Amino acid sequence: MKQTGVAILLVEDDPDMAEMFSLGLSFAGHDVEVTGDGGAALERASQKRFDVVFLDVQLPGIDGLTTLARLRANRSTRDLPVAMLTNSGDETLRRRARSLRILDWLVKSETTPSELARRVSAWTHGGGEVTPETSDAWVAAPSRELSNKNLGG
């Protein structure tokens, strides 16, 4: 498959979900690496440059929000674009994640692999459809430095 150069870290402990989203993103031409826990995600993010991270909330060991907080506290990963991909609808958790500068909070049961691929395109290339939920999303400029950009209408 042709790769677009978008490197994605998918942090998901459910093997079926991980495979479904990974295959969908790979089919769209993205380079996807999967890990099943927060500790491994922190290690990989410090070793390799990823363009986008999809992070589940409920993970074994280090949970997703703690992983996100540690990514933000680390100088080399503090600006890494992260979207939460979870089945949790907990508004308190969502607010906490938003305070840690996430791209979006996506509910797995409401998000298809092709929708994930469209969002990756919108976030990294400024293209594709973006819903009002992502109007405050960060978008990678051509230099791949992030800037806050209003994408909604």
Exposed/middle/buried for residue 105 (C-beta within 10 Å: 0-12, 13-18, 19+): buried
Structure tokens at 83: 């979207």
Q: Angle CA(104)–CA(45)–CA(54) in degrees, nearest 5?
A: 25
Residue 4 binned pLDDT confidence (cut-offs 50, 70, 90): low
Whether the predicted pLDDT of 140 surpasses 80: no
Question: What tens digit of pLDDT does each residue of 77-131 get?
Answer: 999 999 999 999 889 999 999 999 999 999 999 999 999 999 998 888 765 444 4
CATH of domain 7-148: 3.40.50.2300
Domain positions in the chain are 7-148
Other CB atoms within a 10 A radius of the CB of residue 100 amount to 15
**Average pLDDT for 40-68:** 96
Q: Would you state the structure tokens that stand for residue 37, as one six-digit string?
A: 């826990």
Residue 23's alpha-carbon distances to 6, 10, 32, 76, 146, in angstroms, are 14, 11, 8, 28, 26
